[in-house]
C-alpha cells in the first residue's frame, strides 16, 4: 500500500516564501532541519488544566506520547484546547461541550497535522474531543486520563463524587463535626484523574475504547499508574502507524462500532449521559443513531 500524501508537506515541504516562513517560525522554537525531512507531524491535543483535576496530570501524559511519536520517527507538536472542569465550571459544562468540539475540529483543520492524539479526562472533554476529531477526519486516537485513586476515610472507602452527597446528608443531619467534615473532605479525592466511580467520565472512557478510538485497556488504568504512561507512549507509536494506514475516524466510527459501545454501556451499567454523547458523536460521524437503537440493544 502506497504511503498517503502528508498534509504537513503543504506547509513544511514547499520551497517558496510560505515554506520558508513556516519552517523558520517553527525553528524559532529550537527544532532542527531534521524535523522537516518529510516525517509525519503529529498533534497532541491537550486539555490539561489546573482548573480541571481530572486532567491535571495530562502534561506528563503528553510527554509520554511524544516519546512514542519520536521513537517511531514522527514530529510531535503539542497544543492546548479548552478544558471543561465538571466541578468548578458553572452553571454546567454541557453548555460548552460543542464549543470545545469546534475548538478541536478547527485546530485539526487549520494546522499542519497528519494525525492527532487526543488527551482528555473530565466528563465532557472526552465526547467533545471525539466529536471534533470525527468532523475533521484526520487519523486520530485518544488517551483518557484514567480514574483517580480511591479515597479512604477512617474505615470507609470513598467514591469520588458519589459519596459527597452521602457525607453532605450526614453533615446536615448533625452527624459530622467541623473536624470530621474537613477530614472527610481531604480524604475524598486522592490524586489527579477522573472520578473512579462509574459516572460520566469513566463511562465515556469506556465508550471511546468500545468504539475503537483508544488502545485496549485505556479506560481502566488508574491515572497515577505507570502503565498509563506506557500506554500513552504506545499510543504515540500507534498514531504513526495510523497515519501510514490512512486510518481515519470515518473508517472506525461505523454503525457497528456504535452498537458495540451501546452494548458495552449496558454491560457496565454506565451513566445515562452516554446516550446524549454517543448520539452527538454519531451525528458528527454521519451515523444515524435513534434512541430506539439503545432500547433494542438493551433487551
User: Going from the N-terminus, what domains does the chain have, and what CATH number goes with each?
Assistant: 6-33 (no CATH), 39-147+198-298 (3.40.50.2300), 150-190 (no CATH)
pLDDT bracket for residue 189 (50, 70, 90): confident
Contact predicate 47/129, CB 8 Å? yes
Please give the pLDDT value at position 2. Answer: 72
What are the tens digits of pLDDT across the range 58-114?
999 999 999 999 999 999 999 999 999 999 999 999 999 999 999 999 999 999 999
What are the tens digits of pLDDT across the range 118-141?
999 999 999 999 999 999 999 999
Q: Is the pTM of this model over 0.85?
A: yes
User: What is the C-alpha separation between 36 and 38, in angstroms, rounded?
Assistant: 6
What are the tens digits of pLDDT across the range 6-53?
999 999 999 999 999 999 999 999 999 999 999 999 999 999 999 999
Amino acid at each position: 500500500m502506497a504511503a498517503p500524501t502528508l498534509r504537513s508537506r503543504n506547509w513544511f515541504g514547499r520551497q517558496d516564501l510560505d515554506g520558508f516562513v513556516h519552517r523558520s517560525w517553527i525553528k524559532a522554537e529550537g527544532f532542527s532541519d531534521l524535523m522537516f525531512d518529510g516525517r509525519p507531524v503529529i498533534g497532541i491535543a491537550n486539555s490539561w488544566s489546573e482548573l480541571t483535576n481530572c486532567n491535571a496530570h495530562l502534561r506528563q501524559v503528553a510527554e509520554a506520547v511524544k516519546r512514542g511519536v519520536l521513537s517511531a520517527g514522527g514530529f510531535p507538536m503539542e497544543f492546548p484546547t479548552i478544558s471543561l472542569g465538571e466541578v468548578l465550571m458553572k452553571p454546567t459544562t454541557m453548555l460548552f461541550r460543542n464549543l470545545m468540539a469546534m475548538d478541536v475540529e478547527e485546530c485539526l483543520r487549520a494546522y499542519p497535522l497528519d494525525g492527532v492524539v487526543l488527551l482528555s479526562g473530565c466528563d465532557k472533554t472526552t465526547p467533545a474531543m471525539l466529536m471534533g476529531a470525527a468532523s475533521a477526519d484526520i487519523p486520530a486516537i485518544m488517551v483518557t486520563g484514567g480514574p483517580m485513586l480511591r479515597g479512604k476515610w477512617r474505615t470507609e472507602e470513598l467514591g469520588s463524587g458519589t459519596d459527597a452527597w452521602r457525607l453532605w446528608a450526614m453533615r446536615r443531619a448533625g452527624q459530622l463535626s467541623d473536624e470530621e467534615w474537613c477530614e472527610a473532605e481531604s480524604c475524598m479525592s486522592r490524586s489527579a484523574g477522573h472520578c473512579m466511580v462509574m459516572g460520566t467520565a469513566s463511562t465515556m472512557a469506556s465508550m471511546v475504547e468500545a468504539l475503537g478510538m483508544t488502545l485496549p485497556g485505556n479506560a481502566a488504568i488508574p491515572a497515577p499508574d505507570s502503565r498509563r504512561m506506557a500506554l500513552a507512549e504506545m499510543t504515540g507509536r500507534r498514531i504513526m502507524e495510523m497515519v501510514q494506514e490512512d486510518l481515519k475516524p470515518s473508517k472506525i466510527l461505523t454503525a457497528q462500532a456504535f452498537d458495540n459501545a451501546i452494548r458495552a454501556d449496558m454491560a457496565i451499567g454506565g451513566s445515562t449521559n452516554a446516550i446524549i454523547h454517543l448520539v452527538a458523536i454519531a451525528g458528527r460521524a454521519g451515523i444515524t443513531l435513534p434512541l430506539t437503537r439503545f432500547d433494542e440493544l438493551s433487551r
